[in-house]
Structure 1
């Protein structure tokens, strides 16, 4: 094969990373493939804003159709983000016999099942390594490196923005708003940080990775999601006193014939390997029945790490083109006919440990009333801190529990928050400790 021609739709941050990797590592890429990758065309609505990686004018266009309709372009790289027109571009590219690479986790989380079915129908392939954890080869590990395992657990930090904010709140005692502002100033957070701080970005990624790990369709709408907007520095401080660190975690588990798929702020022991993951880094703990526990760590976003993952997908597809095969490895790891609609465990049925912070008036009998309601709902207290100082007119009482069911916790807190001795809603953070960070599959 003389070369493989690539068309790039989206000349933004990641697009620039792809172009730079293709240019700077051209000799390495050719040595590994046996032929070059040729960037034939780049489409973007804005061709005037200066970019860190320039493109020859004759290769630029504002019309993505020039890429989709070019019979000489074999691989289309979609990097514009969002649901539309990205979805339509990918569908048309596949219909025209092209292969696709995308970093669009939101699109895959919402429409991935449709896109993969469309690719199979038209004999095309979709590469999407860059959609989850940026430059960390998480999806390739699930698809190939761990192919001989029953993977029962995905447990990790999949959003660098949220991790940066929580790191600054932990290490400097910053309020959430101040840590967010700093993240935006440093370019770690968007002007509208909703997807990152509300946990939605992490949920997109968990839905994709979970489908690959557990052999199910992508079901983003069934992932339980909580963000970090309500995290108070006081809770970060108490967590530290108990020997925990606070992280926004993606948790996927296959246990007792059901899947847990949840994203929320989580306390983990300070000794846990994930507790040391600082700043904008990502890290994912995986557990397979043969390999045991492993962890992948690195930059989960950014121009070059994400560009690296996109180029790896381009190279995989180029090898298949040279060999005359398509989808030698199924995109979601399992053959489509062998995927299973494994039920998602409702959040109310999840059992874990909990951190509670009650804001109560300073009078005798308060602790006994609160603990009495918890006891009535089979919630056992593991540890208590009661501070004498007032915070906003109330005294904080902090409790850690043994394992309890979410349904019982919610019922208890509804009753406690109605007490006249309690000021404001109880703060709740779930706990995952080292002894229950993975659960063996049946």
Structure 2
């Protein structure tokens, strides 16, 4: 199977190395015939080109692997590849979420596959295990630590008592966080993965704007100290639930009991759990990002294609995400706490409280009332369920 590789950065170069080494019988059936790079100066291999048409218009190329990242030109390149009857494997979660319905329909009508194992969970075989579970069970819910950058930051704060800014700088120095870490620390990266997991697990196309998203940008050592004192560990948790009343989706820092498996996940690792009738709760743990873990997931998709395994195009129906039935209590720190007296269960100090059990919809309304750009909120998990 001949491959056109778009991008030769962190992930793309990992894919090229794995495929070129041909360490297994399955990989020996793969061949990277062309590689798209951005500039002429980047050409270091006779397979490299700066012209996308050398790849998407090449009738000998069977599959295009997109590792560019970002929305454009990645979307246009993937769209052209699918239209020309080529399978596509991508690690680009942001582009997928922005155009998922259109790309799935295009893949279906052109009779090819759009595969995205690497876009969610890095080296963890999360998407493929959702597919396997669905062959027997309906998936009721999923939740987990989807973002290695925030998990690294929160681990450093919990284990070493670092302030947020110091832990973030360490994450950047280690290469876990970008120069602009907004997508990670504001919860957007996790939200993209909640959307993709909902599509794969529930068969629905959720609008990311319907998901309640709270990040860790404003977390402080004070918040971590409270969690630790009361037997909790703070993790950024993305989750989705499907019920008779519909689908919900949230991203929020969560105070998790120390005996819960998620509380034990260190550094930049991911851990994601699915819940279904006959299998129950299954948790998958591993590297969530990086060159080789993500490239490994890309190559797994390529091997599925070459072996004609699991090539059915994912499909989904549009759905409105509604969090009114998701009830919990929340830790809130705000300078305007007096504006939410009617939902306070326990006052911790002048700026901090634990709310009564309320819905995520009520929480969102409350955040608007607070009018505090530096508010920090975390869900409090009272048990190990």
2:322 is matched with which residue?
A: 345
Query: Where does 1:34-433 land on structure 2 (aligned, <5 Å)?
Result: 36-46=29-39, 48=41, 57-320=45-308, 329-332=311-314, 336=315, 339-346=316-323, 350-357=326-333, 373-374=341-342, 377=343, 380-381=345-346, 385=348, 398-401=352-355, 403-406=357-360, 427-433=376-382
Give the gaps of 5 or more residues in structure 1.
50-54, 321-326, 361-365, 387-394, 438-442
**CA 1:407 to 1:288, structure 2 compared with 1: closer, same or farther past 3 Å?**
closer
Q: Is the 8 A contact 2:68 2:74 kept in 1?
A: yes
Question: In structure 1, what is the equivalent of residue 9 of structure 2?
Answer: 12
In 1: Cα distance, 2:29 partner to 2:170 partner: 42
Judged with a 3 Å threshold, the aligned counterparts in structure 2 of structure 1 residues 203 and 143 are, in CA distance, closer, same or farther, namely: same
Contact conserved, 2:147 with 2:189, CA < 8 A, in 1? yes
Deviation, 1:158, is 0.6
Q: Alignment partner of 1:77: what SS?
A: strand
Deviations 1:301-327, CA, capped at 9 Å, x for gaps: 10000010000111111122xxxxxx8
Query: Take 1:270 and 1:319, find their aligned partners in 2: how far apart are those partners?
Result: 43
Q: Distance in 2 between matches of 1:211 and 1:413?
A: 28
Q: Partners of 2:363 and 2:97 in 1: how far apart?
A: 30
Kept after mapping to 2: 8 A contact 1:101/1:313: yes
1:23 to 20, 25, 28: 20
Distance (Å, rounded) in 1 between the aligned partners of 2:46 and 2:290: 27
CA distance in 2, matches of 1:412, 1:86: 38
Secondary structure of the residue aligned to 1:76 is strand
Q: TM-score with structure 2 length normalisation?
A: 0.91
- Per the TM alignment, residue 427 of structure 1 is displaced from its structure 2 partner at its CA by 4.4
Q: Distance in 2 between matches of 1:305 and 1:425?
A: 35
Does the 8 A contact of 2:2 with 2:63 survive in 1?
yes
RMSD: 2.8
| TM-score where L is the length of structure 1 | 0.80
SS in structure 2 of the partner of residue 57 of structure 1: coil
* Equivalent position SS for 1:285: strand
CA contact (8 A) 2:134 2:201 kept: no
The Cα of 1:430 is off from its aligned counterpart by 1.4
How far apart are the structure 2 equivalents of 1:425 and 1:8?
42
The SS at the match of 1:310 is helix
Please tell me whether the aligned partners of residues 355 and 401 of structure 1 are also in contact (alpha carbons under 8 angstroms): yes
Structure 1 residue 433: deviation in Å?
A: 3.8
Q: What is the alpha-carbon distance in structure 2 between the residues aligned to residue 230 and residue 224 of structure 1?
A: 17
Aligned-partner Cα distance in 1 for 2:119–2:297: 9
Structure 2: distance between partners of 1:181 and 1:39: 37
Cα pair 1:143 1:329 within 8 Å, conserved: no
Deviation at 1:283, TM superposition (A): 0.5
Confirm or deny: 8 A CA contact 1:150 1:290 kept in the other structure: no
Cα offsets for 1:300-359 (capped at 9, x unmatched): 110000010000111111122xxxxxx855333xxx4xx45444214x553112223466
Residue-by-residue CA offset, 1:373-413 (whole Å, 9 max, x unaligned): 33xx5x644xx655xxxxxxxx56x5435533345557778
CA distance in 2, matches of 1:118, 1:414: 39
